[in-house]
Structure formats: structure tokens, C-alpha cells
Amino acid sequence: MNTDIVSLFFIMDESYSLFHGGQGGRRYGGAGLQMYLIADELSKNKNFDVNWVFLGSGIDVDMISHPRITIHKYRSLINKGIPYVSRLINQARKKTPFKSPHPRVVISCFGAFAPHLLDYAQDANAKSILRLSADSDTTEPRWTKLDAQDIFSMYQSIDGIVVQSEYQQQQLESRDIQSFCIPNIWPDEDRSVSEKDIILWVASSQPLKQPWIFIELAKRFPEEKFVMVMPMNEERMHAYIMRQAQYVSNLQLINEQTPLEKVNMLFDKAKVFINTSESEGFPNTFLQSGASSTPILSLGINPDNILERHEIGDSAQWDFDTLCRLLKHTLNDNDQRNARGINAKKYVDAIHNPKAVAEKWKHAIEHALQS
């Protein structure tokens, strides 16, 4: 990339609680965490002027800060009956936070946000990059009233599409949509060695995360200690899991948003990490697990077959009894469990390290600017 400064504008409200001062704010998910980590790493590059734009009317940007990221907010109010994002765009044009003397790139996430990203890029006279999240973003975009084909057509108009896996890239290629396959980023960390004595599950209370399966797993292994981190997302599911968990004596449920550092400490203590989701893109929890030298067992999720390819775990191929059998074998075979933990750490360090991932993002940004 040349020496000119490029202004990057990230848009994602759910990342609020990751900024200093916002820790007590709204729940963040895997996409919000990844966007924050990407922006944080790119902000270390002197060629990037990194900004974050918040949309939500309930967000107080004066409470949060970052040493290298400038934080903005659309301060417009929303009139009843007027679409949320459209109202913000229309009212903010004369006081847009996208002002910059440098070339601009607006970056956001999720397939459903594609039409709004195009609006913002036009408003900012900027290029656009959309980072897709779940596999459904490349097959059947959800959370939108638009037809999937309309969303795919909008992908064609965006200057850069970023995906998380080869599978996602192949799905888009089948629709003649080009993309950059950039691995998720994970911070370089010196982690202390802990006594591994728990079986861990980490996700939010969404039906697609299928938390009840972990509860059933705990019942099958009463001699083991199971820990479940499940911040509230879908209220009815959250209440149901809380009721069910109270009857399982070997299960500890942490039912609130937990700081990343504390969750990492739980991964350090985990003998094995369990994923029960029915749909994902590339779970950040796989990276947290690998950074803690913890092997992974998945009910089915296995992006690009990484669990077997890198010998870091197993997929049960969507069969609960197989998951139980794999867990029993993992707990009984200390040598294999330790070897897979070591492999997982090597995998995260080699593929998902910040400098390598940032280089791929720099290439995607350069391509978008030239498009």
C-alpha cells in the first residue's frame, strides 16, 4: 500500500461494550468482537486513520474511548414509523461523521446490512467493504425483509466482500460474487498454564446455539464439572435454560455478559470445549479454545473441516450419541487430548495471528480503493 493515509469507518453498535468505559453496555457477539479486533489491529498502522461510528440512540459515546480509534455517533432522533437506518441517514447528511480529507472506506458486517452499507458509502463518498458472518450470509441471508437474491445483487455493488471460510467463498463464487477469504483474528497472548478441570460451553441464549444439548451432555457425565457461559439474547430461551440448569448439580451457569478476559480464564481451565450450534460462520470460541491449548468437540459445526485437518478436535456429524462417545474418549485419552490442545495453539498462532490477518485486510482495502 502507498504512503497515503486512508480513513476507515467501522459501523457496528454491538461492539460498544468492548471499548474502554462501555463494559457494562449491550451484549457483543462474535461478529462484534471480530470487528473490534480488526479495527484495533489496523489502528496500529500509521497509514490508517481508524474511526468507529455508532448508530443507536441509546449509546453514549462520551462514556467510551480508545487510544487509537476516533469514536463518532449519529445524534439524530428517530421519528415513529420511519425506518431506523434511513432516518439516521437522512437527518445526518449535513453533520456526517464521515468527513475526512483522506480516501475513505466504510466497513460493516452481516449480509442484511448490505443496503445500508451502500447508503453510508454513498453518503461518505467512500468505498465499501462488507464482512460476512454466518454461512447463511452466503446461502440465504437472514434478518432482512429483502429477498435473498436482492441481497446478493447488492453484494455485487459493494467494493469488497470478506468471508471467513473457503466454504463461504465457494458459495459466493457459485453466484459469480468474488470475495476475500480472511481468517478471523485473535490477539497474541502469553497465557498462564492452568489446571484443566472443566468442560466448557460459551454462547448466547439463542435457539440456534442449542444450549439445551450441553445440559443433556452434563447429565450424561455426572462425575465431570460443566461450565456454561450464556449471556441473555433471546429472553424465553434464556429463562428456559436457567430453569433446566438448576436441576443439574454438576453444571455451573454464568448467565450474564462476561468480560472477555474472564472467559479466556475459563478456556484456560477447560479440558475440552463443546460447540452445539446449528449454524455459525467461524466461531471465535474455536480461537479462544485454541489460544488456551484446549481441544474442541463440535456437534456439527466444522468450518472447512479444520477440526480434523489440523488435528484439534472432532465433529459428531450432528449426532448427540456420537458427541457423547467422542467426549468420553477425549476425557479418557490424556495423551490425545494434550496433543490436540498443542495443535490447536499452533493453529491459532499460525493462521489467526494479528499481523498476518491485518496484511490480508490491507490487501482487501487496497483493492476496494482501486475498484
> pLDDT per residue over 220-265, tens digit each?
999 999 999 999 889 999 999 999 999 999 999 999 888 888 999 9
The Cα 187–Cα 355 span in angstroms is 9
> pLDDT per residue over 4-41, tens digit each?
899 999 999 999 999 999 988 877 888 999 999 999 99
Measured N-to-C along each axis, helices 148-157 and 114-124 cross at an angle, to the nearest 10 degrees, of 30
Q: Residue 69 has which C-alpha cell?
A: 480509534
Q: Residue 105 has which C-alpha cell?
A: 472506506
Same domain? For 50 and 179 the reply is yes
Q: Is the pLDDT of residue 279 over 90?
A: no
> pLDDT per residue over 99-112, tens digit each?
788 899 999 998 88
Residue 178's pLDDT band (cuts 50, 70, 90): very high
Full domain range(s) for residue 332: 198-351
- DSSP 3-state of 19: coil
Asked whether residue 137 is assigned to any structural domain, the reply reads yes
Same domain? For 346 and 280 the reply is yes
- DSSP 3-state of 284: helix
Asked whether residue 193 is assigned to any structural domain, the reply reads no
Task: Report the candidate in 131, 138, 130 with the shortest Cα–Cα distance to residue 157.
Answer: 130
Asked whether residue 173 is assigned to any structural domain, the reply reads yes
> pLDDT per residue over 328-348, tens digit each?
999 999 999 999 999 999 999
Same domain? For 281 and 330 the reply is yes
> pLDDT per residue over 45-104, tens digit each?
999 999 999 988 678 888 999 999 999 886 533 333 334 444 444 444 445 677 788 899
Q: Is the pLDDT of residue 370 over 90?
A: yes
Asked whether residue 305 is assigned to any structural domain, the reply reads yes
Query: N- to C-terminal Cα distance for the chain?
Result: 14
Residue 109's Cβ-count burial label (10 Å; 0-12, 13-18, 19+) is: buried
Same domain? For 224 and 163 the reply is no
Most distant CA atoms of the chain, gap in Å:
64
| % of the chain exceeding 90 in pLDDT | 73
Q: Which of 81-85, 119-123, 282-286 is the most confident on average?
A: 282-286
Measured N-to-C along each axis, helices 284-291 and 30-42 cross at an angle, to the nearest 10 degrees, of 70
Question: Which position has the higher pLDDT, 357 or 257?
Answer: 357
pLDDT at 356: 95
Q: Note the pTM of the prediction, 2 decimals.
A: 0.88
Same domain? For 253 and 358 the reply is no
Same domain? For 170 and 64 the reply is yes
The Cα 371–Cα 365 span in angstroms is 10
Same domain? For 24 and 162 the reply is yes
DSSP 199: E
Q: How far is CA 299 from the centre of its chain?
A: 19
Asked whether residue 265 is assigned to any structural domain, the reply reads yes
The Cα 29–Cα 50 span in angstroms is 21
pLDDT at 77: 33
CATH code of the domain covering residue 170: 3.40.50.2000
> pLDDT per residue over 38-48, tens digit each?
999 999 999 99
Same domain? For 77 and 100 the reply is yes
Instruction: Indicate the number of domains in the chain.
Output: 2
Same domain? For 271 and 136 the reply is no
Q: Residue 113 has which C-alpha cell?
A: 446490512
pLDDT at 95: 54
pLDDT at 273: 98
Asked whether residue 190 is assigned to any structural domain, the reply reads no
Q: What mean pLDDT do residues 290-312 have? A: 97
DSSP string, 52-87: EEE--TT--GGG-B-SS-EEEE------TTS-HHHH
pLDDT at 288: 96
Same domain? For 86 and 113 the reply is yes
Same domain? For 337 and 241 the reply is yes
